[in-house]
Amino acid sequence: MSRENIILEQEIETNESAEKLSHKSKVDINVLLNKVRADQKKERFENLIFVGLISAVVVVSGLIISL
């Protein structure tokens, strides 16, 4: 394939994807809210793990120092 053919194929693919996106004019707010809630839940879980690890390090360090 020549370079021109590759460029033309890429332009066709981008035009097709742009057309697909333009046809979707409605956005379901419930889907967006569910994504945000899932992200918040994941973030809270990660923060809890982080705080737990920090607490464990402090406790272990305190035990080692006290001995």
Q: Domain range holding 14?
A: 3-66
* 7-60 residue pLDDT tens: 666 666 676 665 665 566 788 899 999 999 999 999 999 999 999 999 999 999
The whole-angstrom separation of Cα 44 and Cα 59 is 22
Number of domains in the chain: 1
Whole-prediction pTM: 0.52
- Give the pLDDT confidence score for residue 5 in this predicted structure: 63
Predicted confidence (pLDDT) at residue 67 exceeds the cutoff of 80: yes
Distance of alpha carbon 11 from the chain centroid: 28
- Give the pLDDT confidence score for residue 25 in this predicted structure: 72
In this structure, what token pair is assigned to residue 57? 């390090």
* 28-43 residue pLDDT tens: 899 999 999 999 999 9
Sign of CA dihedral 49, 55, 61, 66: negative
